[in-house]
Structure 1
């Protein structure tokens, strides 16, 4: 039986729990109770006229109701469409019309046809009739998911059951989650991969704790998880906290790490964006091994470092059912035994042709190489290569990483408006900017670089965040937006900090 069909095939064994930890409130349920409650929600959906293939939208913060709706949709073969409240500012009625939703459940204060408050699911009577027996075929799609990339409107695609199933199976083979484990999830459940860990708990018998980004650090202290899933930006913040606390108290990094993450951590998981090598080393040295992986919404998980197969600097070995092909331009292409999708459902004209290629191949747009042992190394985006007027091609990510290694720089983006020299748009790590230390960071970053690769100056920007539009929902810098906002400073010969 496939993992996904195992999830919906019957109640799990008792003894494992789902915990929802938000600021000021924590609640917990045995997974058998979660299963029973999801059946009540499934019956409610059937009573509202939902049928197999219909789309159920969820526009809400992480909650028990979010989990129940998603599981209920799986059990009656409806399609879950998750909307991140911080990313979609359309009204419920607009989302219903735009994405062909049968129903939308939300925690927003609005009423419209086919829009229901998610709180209405808190008190439901037991279901009186048998739910239909459902089986997901590998090519069917249980989820509509969204990907915006670093620019442009959100694109959507229907994710296949085969891609979900193969990813769950591969991760289980690598990490063997089971009794005693508690996987900590705080990114929005609107991201399909975050829901994988709920499916994993039901299929393989472990606990799962769901929180929010705002509550994550507070919840960690009481949850005592064994695994924490997070984007690099989260671990950058955690590293800054560890180092500052150790410096202030005289405690070791390992002692502060236990105080922050609890005393049961087995490993940390990161991906979705490039991770700072110094941050990865910091956590590993503190006794919290952290494993980086690689994947896109269009490919799901492609590679992953894991215990027994871990090469620092790489994003891991290729997973079973995936094949990485490096084309003549050095761009990573991925072929999947069970593709996530072969087209977009919603996108601008031409977007699908840029991403999806014949034969089930996805052109990622990332530059990289495979070493002799099959580990993948990612060098940056193909469209983030800067071409100087002398024809020299500069891959910017390694240079940006050198600059970000400084504790006074939180993030940066390289640009070259004149095509003659590189300029760094810098997001400082502190409100009180020390220009002398930033100049020193420029000198350090330039050490050992070819003349064409050296950074001529840095201009100061506000902190890059999702709220101000300078980070994507995956916490990646939105280069075009950053370059446009700070173009005047970049081109002004009088502006900037020089090495």
Structure 2
């Protein structure tokens, strides 16, 4: 088994290290040898508390050494870690609800929570050692398919956070594929920024451990301040990680852009050899600019259900596409251009908790998996074109892909985020635009007017709402933890508040 062996793998490279940078920029450094010994001690404490193979154990809290230590110890013990999203703060009184809702045997919290209420017996704070808890036992614990080793949750852009049952073989395949495609060596240092409750960040940690390379965990709030110090070699992140440089370059004098851009690349450190972006629409012009500057930025595409689906790699890349399908994956286009995948070793066996009612529509009986993404195949390269469930159908039956209209705005104004929708009860399209500089509102509206002149009446934006960019955060609920716009949350916040 792959994930069971990760703690033992640590002992193969005892001098290698992980770094955990805090918001105040203090850094905790742990060698793999130290992590191994700490994991073994935690395993003993959890075992003595009555936890064992098959138990569902929640892990809750922001990224920290305690989070990944708990994850590794639980996997080695044969438990099934349940990674509970922690974007918003919760008080102690809320924790008992997690134990009941997810039918957990125990819940491990990475740090003390606000509130005066004590923690339930089945809960322990990892900063208070030794861990002592009384497991909760439920008569209706979900039955997991064979091979399922952990549960993660989707980002919730569809309105619910699906519980995804990840298998040992699927996780191993994603790690092995990445190690080969990226040629990871012990000289590499993988950057981890997004929450551990997002499975991609855990998998990156497993990749580091299995290949013997270093890993560095940095809070997103201080990422750019930390990068020059931590000097990673491999960076994966949403487009917002890279739009900072793109926007700065595009705002510079055209005659000086290239020279200044090459200098500004230092914000990512001097050792980066691979940059990957995805999980949200990727502006092709941004990728092209990075590559023109000599920076190794590539688009990549995957899903938690499948793992990596397509990727660009040095020597086999095309800007504006997500790359060619990876080994073991076949991509075909279904109705309306929907991306449908056949994977030899998919990462997920199905859904649990929420999303179960959609499982049969996603995991087809013939083994194919429906992604919900729209795409086009161009000479074997996959170009993504938005989400199928975001397609707007007007009263007259016209189908509109909002991603195309949004891209038309965002390309013209680097750094701007836009969302096009048909508000409930409305007959005409409306658009929300988030601006750092309210003074650009008239310029944006004039651009949309020019766009409208090039479109059929059904595709014209009738109303434009300008909102402050600072409201577009994970904490506000308008962004998911993957930094995607939460379209349902925007609808509730903007159009149900009376704005039209």
Question: Aligned equivalents of 2:498 and 2:446: distance in 1?
Answer: 19
- Deviation (angstroms), 1:154: 2.1
- Find the counterpart in structure 2 of residue 97 from structure 1: 100
User: Would you say the 8 A contact 2:4–2:75 is kept in 1?
Assistant: no
SS class of match (1:357) = coil
- Find the counterpart in structure 1 of residue 14 from structure 2: 14
Q: Establish whether residue 399 from structure 1 lines up as the match of residue 405 from structure 2.
A: yes
- Find the counterpart in structure 1 of residue 392 from structure 2: 386
- Find the counterpart in structure 2 of residue 487 from structure 1: 495
Q: Which moved more, 1:271-280 or 1:345-354?
A: 345-354
1:149 paired residue among 156, 165, 177: 156
User: Would you say the 8 A contact 1:93–1:113 is kept in 2?
Assistant: no
For residues 344-378 of structure 1, give each alpha carbon's deviation from its aligned partner in whole angstroms, at most 9, with x where no partner exists.
111156332332221333222111122232x2121
User: Would you say the 8 A contact 2:325–2:382 is kept in 1?
Assistant: yes
| 1:258-407 mapped onto 2 (5 Å cutoff) | 258=266, 260-347=267-354, 350-373=357-380, 375-407=381-413
Question: Aligned equivalents of 2:65 and 2:489: distance in 1?
Answer: 36
- Find the counterpart in structure 2 of residue 226 from structure 1: 233
| 1:220-259 mapped onto 2 (5 Å cutoff) | 220-240=227-247, 252-258=260-266
- Deviation (angstroms), 1:295: 1.9
Question: Aligned equivalents of 1:219 and 1:256: distance in 2?
Answer: 15
Structure 1 unmatched runs, 5+: 125-137, 493-499
- Deviation (angstroms), 1:52: 0.7
Pick closer, same or farther for the CA change 1:272–1:372 going to 2, 3 Å: same
User: Would you say the 8 A contact 1:105–1:116 is kept in 2?
Assistant: yes
Question: Aligned equivalents of 1:335 and 1:490: distance in 2?
Answer: 44
Question: Aligned equivalents of 1:371 and 1:319: distance in 2?
Answer: 15
Question: Aligned equivalents of 2:407 and 2:392: distance in 1?
Answer: 16
Indicate the RMSD between aligned Cα atoms, in angstroms.
Answer: 2.8
| 1:447-458 mapped onto 2 (5 Å cutoff) | 448-450=454-456, 452-458=458-464
Pick closer, same or farther for the CA change 1:398–1:188 going to 2, 3 Å: same
- Find the counterpart in structure 1 of residue 138 from structure 2: none
- Deviation (angstroms), 1:195: 1.2
User: Would you say the 8 A contact 2:2–2:168 is kept in 1?
Assistant: no
Question: Aligned equivalents of 1:408 and 1:192: distance in 2?
Answer: 29
- Find the counterpart in structure 1 of residue 134 from structure 2: none
User: Would you say the 8 A contact 1:459–1:489 is kept in 2?
Assistant: no
User: Would you say the 8 A contact 2:452–2:461 is kept in 1?
Assistant: yes
| 1:3-152 mapped onto 2 (5 Å cutoff) | 4=3, 7-10=6-9, 11-24=11-24, 25-87=26-88, 89=90, 91-106=94-109, 107-109=111-113, 110-121=118-129, 139-152=146-159
> Could you state the TM-score of these two structures normalised by the residue count of structure 1?
0.86
Question: Aligned equivalents of 2:105 and 2:5: distance in 1?
Answer: 26
- Deviation (angstroms), 1:291: 1.7
- Deviation (angstroms), 1:452: 4.2
SS class of match (1:405) = helix
1:441 paired residue among 441, 447, 458: 447
Question: Aligned equivalents of 1:348 and 1:228: distance in 2?
Answer: 31
User: Would you say the 8 A contact 1:12–1:203 is kept in 2?
Assistant: no
- Deviation (angstroms), 1:301: 1.9
User: Would you say the 8 A contact 2:410–2:418 is kept in 1?
Assistant: yes
SS class of match (1:119) = coil
- Deviation (angstroms), 1:457: 4.0
- Deviation (angstroms), 1:379: 1.0
- Deviation (angstroms), 1:176: 0.7
SS class of match (1:486) = helix
| 1:180-191 mapped onto 2 (5 Å cutoff) | 180-191=187-198
- Find the counterpart in structure 1 of residue 212 from structure 2: 205
User: Would you say the 8 A contact 1:409–1:427 is kept in 2?
Assistant: no
Question: Aligned equivalents of 2:194 and 2:253: distance in 1?
Answer: 27
Question: Aligned equivalents of 1:285 and 1:442: distance in 2?
Answer: 29
For residues 28-74 of structure 1, give each alpha carbon's deviation from its aligned partner in whole angstroms, at most 9, with x where no partner exists.
12212212221111111111111111122111111111121111112
> Could you state the TM-score of these two structures normalised by the residue count of structure 2?
0.86
Q: Establish whether residue 415 from structure 1 lines up as the match of residue 414 from structure 2.
A: no
User: Would you say the 8 A contact 1:174–1:307 is kept in 2?
Assistant: no
Structure 2 unmatched runs, 5+: 132-144
- Deviation (angstroms), 1:448: 4.9
- Find the counterpart in structure 2 of residue 426 from structure 1: 433
Question: Aligned equivalents of 1:222 and 1:292: distance in 2?
Answer: 25
- Deviation (angstroms), 1:320: 1.8
Pick closer, same or farther for the CA change 1:408–1:291 going to 2, 3 Å: closer
For residues 167-187 of structure 1, give each alpha carbon's deviation from its aligned partner in whole angstroms, at most 9, with x where no partner exists.
111111110111221111111
- Deviation (angstroms), 1:96: 1.3
Q: Which moved more, 1:342-351 or 1:97-106?
A: 342-351
- Deviation (angstroms), 1:416: 3.4
Question: Aligned equivalents of 1:88 and 1:323: distance in 2?
Answer: 41
SS class of match (1:100) = coil
